[in-house]
Chains A and B, each alone.
Chain A
């Protein structure tokens, strides 16, 4: 482990960008307008710097095999508890920050084209940079407390960005929902951290020393801590039961969705589990639980996605579904497979969102897929990249999604979790179906109108093309041995001690063929049903699935209304009647007593005289007695 002074600049670059952009934006609204070019140069330049620094560290690590650590200062020092403001650049952190900065940078570039002309252009980039900085704090943190700073930071930024168009009440509600759902998870996360510290006793809190001391702790406490930490991941990574914020988060501008879904925020949960791999390796029951939660989330989201009509919501549910796959992998101990899926997913999901954003912009903020089909515009680059993304997520070789998803399914099969494997397979079928449903409706289904060509800004198309290469080729980074690959990602992440797939090549081939067949049948069903679909008779979001299983309504009834009732009870009964009642009673006593005293001051001269007489008499009587006269 080597010391370095470069690591912190990965975080500081976007953070400084955020501060600069924020300051300039104030100048922009208070004094005189600043051109958008300045904002965009700062906004995109700083992530690029972060990416280049990460790249240099990465290349150095490839060369020398070092890992890096930077401790800036001791943040808190209480008795034996030392919390250092430190950053860790090991293989896992650099792996994450490589694609976080790279894809984040591309999304920043895309945002220039998407947000141009918006009043809050500068503010948007300030938030965007801050979002990236928070995510990098989370990724590069050397101890769980620093990780938690980043964890909260991404929560805050997601709130700010989802409610970016704050004049619309629905967006504000969506922002609040995201923030509150995340708070529920964060509470679990915090409890998990406390349990972990309690279990380990007084140790240095960096991840390396936690890992070294993990065997000293009691397994029960570790299991509890692992579970509670995962509650945090449920909130952040939108798993059952805390997923409700993710579809609503589509209220924000599309670059936000791309950033949240691809590079930052939702992958934080998966990363956190991988970061705590030393903890989760020891507690397999919790791991299995995580895998099941992941599997059900994947299935649940995929089922809902088949009936959605909003292009961004379909993508949101698909993210939740793919996150479910990642949790299957990390839950079963296949950390590197999970992270590999995070990587490939980042490419194709960023691309899908950017493509969707391009379509939405071209059609003047229309998000309903049937309406998009009715007013179809000719968008050649977007349609091609969109197709690549859809194929990649469906799991058709040789696109990237196939390799990562297949590795996860094979892992579930090998571990004997056949139920998870079956759910995964069925979800893969649904994924192919709903993604191609969307594709066929948006781009293929017949429409008599002549398509008008809409020019798309190059800041939108160039990132799309770069990501398309990634979405196509990222799978080759971790080619399984059976296909003659070298497991590059698995090797790079060997520090995680992931389980590996060791099945006979025959089984692997069979599994691969099955999963390709499943995906292909999903595409075929979608083709049959939607390639000739009459877009002027759109499907409605009806029925149990269309209404998302009424989960939102259920939560509303159970949690929201319940807490409202409790608050009303406390407000109206406990506060108003009991506490206020007590205080006001005392006050009233004083007031009425005061009023009684005040009647003595009635300005009646004769009464005063009588009173004086009484007083003087008393004095004289006293004097008479005391003087003994």
Chain B
């Protein structure tokens, strides 16, 4: 039987890949996908422990997360389209209009 630790590791690795993707990549789509990766990492964690403790509550939370993530995807993608229309680019570093620093 695969140990609990392995599940935890996989979910942590998924989460970390997601975090690094959010921080390191500039393409909005990749950032979005990284966020989804993080969500899935957390979902996996929850499901694992639900099975381990024979408790259904985390399962419910997971289903909830997946459904909300689906709804969120719709909004996210439309926002990305709007952003692309305004700047003709998907590079996040371009969207700095609200900066307070010296570069404007």
Contact = CB atoms under 8 A, between A and B. Distances in A.
Contacts of B31: 605-606
Contact of B22 (A595, A599, A602, A606): A606
A558 interface: no
A316 B24 CA distance: 93
A626 interface: no
Given A595-B102, A598-B100, A598-B101, A603 B23 contact: no
B88 to A, nearest CB: 18
A594 to B, nearest CB: 10
Q: Which of B25, B31, B99 has the most CB of A within 10 A?
A: B99
Given A606-B26, A609-B23, A599 B92 contact: no
A598 B26 CA distance: 23
Contacts of B99: 601-603
A270 B92 CA distance: 91
Interface in A583-608: 595, 598-606
Interface residues of A, number: 13
Contacts, number: 41
B97 A603 contact: yes
A610 interface: yes
**Is chain B's interface secondary structure helix, strand, loop, or mixed overall?**
loop
Interface in B67-102: 92-93, 95-102
A609 B22 contact: yes
A217 interface: no
B103 interface: yes
B102 A605 contact: no
Interface in A268-309: none
A606 B24 contact: yes
B26 A613 contact: no
A606 B22 CA distance: 6
Place the interface of chain B in its size category. Answer: 10 to 19
B19 interface: yes
Nearest to A598: B100
A601 B23 CA distance: 16
Contact of B93 (A598, A604, A609, A610): A604
Nearest to A611: B23
A601 B100 contact: yes
Q: Which of A599, A600, A602, A610 has the most CB of B within 10 A?
A: A602
Contact of A605 (B92, B100, B101, B103): B92
B92 A601 contact: no
A605 B92 CA distance: 7
B24 A603 contact: no
A613 B23 contact: yes
Given A606-B26, A609-B22, A599 B95 contact: no
A595 B93 CA distance: 21
Nearest to B100: A601
A601 B102 CA distance: 10
B28 to A, nearest CB: 9
B31 to A, nearest CB: 8
A275 to B, nearest CB: 74
B101 A613 contact: no
The 5 closest A-B pairs by CB, nearest first: A601-B100, A603-B99, A603-B96, A602-B101, A599-B101
Interface of A: 595, 598-606, 609-610, 613
10 contacts: A598-B101, A599-B101, A600-B101, A601-B100, A603-B95, A604-B92, A604-B93, A605-B31, A606-B31, A613-B19
